Structure 1
């Protein structure tokens, strides 16, 4: 099992609409994630002795360097989540390359090497994998085509598959652009996650849980997450690992094969 935390703070709302920069009420959600939720999440992970991979937008790392320093100091992995939270499929190749490079430049101020990448909103372009290989990235976590990690056939990069069912946003997300969305109870989401994780575990697969500080970090939801993780931590048959550790195991089990020749 991999616990992944998408730390996208202000960049999430600025990517939706640059005018949100002048809306303190909207951006207060990001402030909650930084000032309240991440410290609470880090304390919870320490209590449970669970490692996590934090995918961080470069722009947010620049705004909140102390928070990123604390994440690294607590032993968690730092992953790339774009410089802004703009979706790569909306960019040209050069724009996407610039986003990737700018984000890496920022994150390398905190760790010597960034090995993993998750695109904003799990959106990719035809150029994404080529650019990641050029930058020496080892793994991605953004596709929904499997329940086991695998090596991409034409790129030397490992995929840690995800799915919306194991993401907190589809269940809890709310904004005022539409008032018809129902916020699920933490109890209901815990049941959904348990059903899915149990089935993936029975198949010998990888369950990638994706959470966002400003969403999961509300007090009632964080209590649910701690209970959920504690129960799985007590199961001796589940391996909790950082993304790079999983990628290393996949590489050891499945050596790289050259892409098939084309005529």
Structure 2
């Protein structure tokens, strides 16, 4: 692939994104979790402690992040939403209750999209430019819906390491895609559920994967899309891990840290040129 000519001569772009799911991560996985305070407390930690500490880290590092937020989370944690917006960070759409989309029920997919939009507008007056599907679960309807509702970009698919333009069924231009991958997501390594237990990897393991992925994407000239969750990355040692990753990236010349909308807009400008 040809390296992208990122703004100001940057070799690659880096997005720091935070899926602020709070309790929706657990409620959507199993409605019975609504009766389990211990399970939900993981999501509460993300809102109560994780988000403020992430905002503190970003402020100290002078960086802007992109927070993808379910509408339910925005409704419950308006104070955290206001803090995110006050910090100048981007707020994106992430469903309403972190629903895993079922392609057989397009009406429910539209309903979740609309409810999420209403919540973000009501709580912080934001019409999001970007969308990320919960858990990467999508349908064939999704891109058309995002175009219909005026989204600039999607960040739900894993089929490239650089942005690209979607083409709709009628051949017209759709949103820009900002691809991600599970290897640059903190959840596969450190999300634990007692009903589906799995090992929690060391921070050294996670960091080694992220560094190696960054190094090669940097060499290719693509997009490094880091996906994290306040209830995971917001743990004390993992915040230190994120800070170490940022320092590692900054040791490389010509790296552009940017929000999702900045990356999508820049790429769209290059496409037009």
TM-score by length of 2: 0.90
How far, CA to CA, are the matches of 2:58 and 2:247 in structure 1? Answer: 10
How far, CA to CA, are the matches of 1:11 and 1:112 in structure 2? Answer: 20
Q: RMSD between aligned alpha carbons? A: 1.3
Q: Is the 8 A contact 1:133 1:156 kept in 2?
A: yes
Q: Which residue matches 2:102?
A: 89
Q: Is 1:18 matched up with 2:31? A: yes
Deviations 1:142-199 (A, max 9, x none): 11110111111224200000000000001112111133x2111001110110000110
What displacement does 1:236 show? 3.4
What displacement does 1:91 show? 5.5
Q: Is 1:195 matched up with 2:212? A: yes
| Higher strand proportion (structure 1 or 2) | 2
Superposed, 1:1-263 pairs within 5 Å as 1-89=14-102, 92-109=105-122, 110-154=124-168, 155-179=173-197, 181-255=198-272
Give unpaired runs (5+ residues) of structure 1. Answer: 257-263
How far, CA to CA, are the matches of 1:233 and 1:240 in structure 2? Answer: 10
Larger RCO (CA under 8 A, 6+ residues apart) = 2
How far, CA to CA, are the matches of 1:111 and 1:77 in structure 2? Answer: 12
Q: Is the 8 A contact 1:78 1:111 kept in 2?
A: no
Q: Is the 8 A contact 2:103 2:140 kept in 1?
A: no
Q: Is the 8 A contact 1:148 1:161 kept in 2?
A: yes
Q: Is the 8 A contact 1:168 1:212 kept in 2?
A: yes
How far, CA to CA, are the matches of 1:112 and 1:213 in structure 2? Answer: 21
What displacement does 1:247 show? 0.7
What displacement does 1:218 show? 1.0
The alpha-carbon distance between structure 1 residues 80 and 91, as it changes in their structure 2 partners (threshold 3 A), is farther
Q: Is the 8 A contact 1:3 1:210 kept in 2?
A: yes
SS of alignment partner, residue 256 of structure 2:
coil
TM-score by length of 1: 0.94
The alpha-carbon distance between structure 1 residues 41 and 29, as it changes in their structure 2 partners (threshold 3 A), is same
Q: Is the 8 A contact 2:176 2:264 kept in 1?
A: yes
Q: Which residue matches 2:9?
A: none
How far, CA to CA, are the matches of 1:113 and 1:234 in structure 2? Answer: 35
Residues matched between the structures, number? 255
What displacement does 1:20 show? 1.0
